[in-house]
Amino acid sequence: MKKMLITGAAGQIGSELTLKLRKRYGEKNVIATDIKYEDDEVAQAGPFHILDVTDGEKLSELVRDYQVDTIIHLAALLSVNAETQPLNAWNLNMGGLMNGLEVAREHSCKFFTPSSIGAFGPSTVKQETPQVTTQRPTTMYGVSKVASELLCDYYHERFDVDTRGLRYPGLISYLTPPGGGTTDYAIEMIDKAVKDQQYTSYIAAGTFLDMMYMPDAITATIDLLEADSARLKNRNAYNITAMSIDPEMLAAAIRSHIPDFTLHYNVDPHRQSIAESWPDHIDTSAAKAEFGFRPQYDLERMTADMIDNLDGKGE
């Protein structure tokens, strides 16, 4: 990779991935784009452009003008927000994806876009969910992610586009606020523990979901982008995760640092139903075998680092 363009660069993943790639490849070689402008390091420390990913012509112009060889397409509406506006979610998630794939085909670019554990549904095996299994999601977000996996497979097989992707679990980060995902309770809980020593969870006790600390997600993304294409068999939707936890497990980890932390519940039926439709724990053996996926943060290490940084003690 020499020149990369990132859509959704101001989002939870994009903001951290952009900075990491700029350190690795040079600030001028990573072009950040988003539909909005944020006066932050992502916009100021390297090339930045306002871009609506449903505008395929503008995307193509940027790729041509900067001689981009890799497109990292992150722009999307997440699970909870997508359910409140399903038509907008479909138009953004699928329209933006199609534009990205077409531009990648036209300009011979490598193309990365994430999928999610949201691509699974109630009929999917919940424990050790295989890499290839039944996918019948019951949310618009999940439907769009299954379609995106299939479209990326299609563009690779039909047009030889070098497409790649990961099924992200819930991602936990102290740098960016929650973005409308079902798993965001984990970020909110740690943040509220530091600030208020209490939190009211919208997800019920005993609801297990896969999670990962953002540094591991960024590392996995770069590892897949840099992997030898010949090693990639699944290619577009690798299962990755670092831990399967429920709210009580996270609360216990928090109490080892903040003993007076109290956890309450006010379960949101809508978000709870989404969480219950997803697997408890997915199998990551394909990612380990094909591009060396190895997460470094478990629940205890992640919680400690989150609390240190939110409390101003981190590096």
Kindly list the catalytic residues: 141
Q: How far apart are CA 150 and CA 189, in angstroms?
A: 35
Alpha-carbon dihedral sign for residues 229, 233, 236, 242 = negative
Q: Are 237 and 115 in contact (CB under 8 A)?
A: yes
Classified as helix, coil or strand, 281 is: strand
Angstrom CA distances, 202 to 12, 205, 235, 250, stand at 21, 10, 34, 14
Q: Alpha carbon 303 to chain centroid distance? A: 19
In the 8-state DSSP scheme, what is residue 184?
G
Classified as helix, coil or strand, 296 is: coil
Q: Are 241 and 210 in contact (CB under 8 A)?
A: yes
The burial of 160, by beta-carbon neighbours within 10 Å (0-12 exposed, 13-18 middle, 19 or more buried), is given as exposed
In the 8-state DSSP scheme, what is residue 196?
H
